[in-house]
Homo-oligomer: A and B are copies of this chain.
Amino acid sequence: MENGTNENPLTALVRKLNQHSPLTREDENAVRELRARVRNLRPNEDVVVQGAPPTACVVVIDGMVARYHLRADGGRQYLGFHIAGDMPDAQGLLLRTMDHAVCATDSARVALIQNAEMLALFKLRRDLALVFWRETLIDAAMFRAWITNNSSRPPMPRMAHFFCEQYYRALAAGLAKDGRCRLPLTQSQIGEALGLSLVHVSRTLRALRKTQTMDFVRGTLAVLDWKALAEIGEFDPVYLHPHQFQAQ
């Protein structure tokens, strides 16, 4: 399901929004007609820098993009990884300072939409504001899940939960097939996401592989036994609010 260059860059976004908030045809078109500047990112290139005032908001078209906190000592804490259709900095729409940064983990393509344009859209189509709001609320639910995961689960379940989340979302985005999806991260980055040292990521990964439920090699995640993996990670996708919406 590679995104052809001819396709509207916001198609993935529309699909994603529809998953939790069915859009009218008019709403869909209004989103698709947003003026988006497409930008190619090289691995590790920042697209949003921490501390800056946000001006445009980012929609991922292709590849993977990460949010992270830059620590005082220069270290990173990754806060989430984003794929086609995700808006990793929607909070910038309404806040004055970015409290975190966004970068590409691998090559990625993103669409940039001026905040003013988004806000104008919300004025015009009020319901869409609620749709994007809901999107940011699901985002917040993911953050909560990360707090619990990183704070209260031992390394192996923690890592299993992490892989479950990534795989589940890739599946929802149509980016998984044959039990595999792209997850272009180094073990070091996984460590910076889960609060584990690189060495311990390696050890934990070995232990996880031995359960025969998954594999992870050079940026590709393979799920061999979803049910068992989800059990190890205590993974329950309710927080991702799949196919849910509240009628207005």
**A→B interface (CB under 8 Å):** 51, 67, 69, 71-72, 75, 77, 79, 91, 94-97, 99-100, 115, 119, 122-123, 126, 129-130, 133-134, 136-141, 143-148, 150-152, 194-195, 234, 238-239, 241, 244-246, 248
Contacts and interface: CB of A to CB of B under 8 A. Distances in A.
Greatest chain B CB density within 10 A among A130, A136, A143, A146 is at A143
A215 to B, nearest CB: 25
B151 A94 contact: no
Contacts of A150: 147, 150-151, 195
Greatest chain B CB density within 10 A among A67, A77, A79, A94 is at A94
Q: Which 3 A-B pairs have the closest CB atoms?
A: A151-B195, A143-B143, A140-B140
A94 B148 contact: no
A234 B94 CA distance: 25
Nearest to A150: B151
The quantity of this chain's copies bound in the complex is: 2
Nearest to A158: B151
Contact of A151 (B99, B151, B239): B151
Nearest to A51: B238
B139 A71 contact: no
A95 B137 CA distance: 8
A197 to B, nearest CB: 11
A134 B96 CA distance: 11
A136 B234 CA distance: 27
Contacts of A141: 91, 95, 99
Contact of A69 (B51, B96, B129, B148): B148
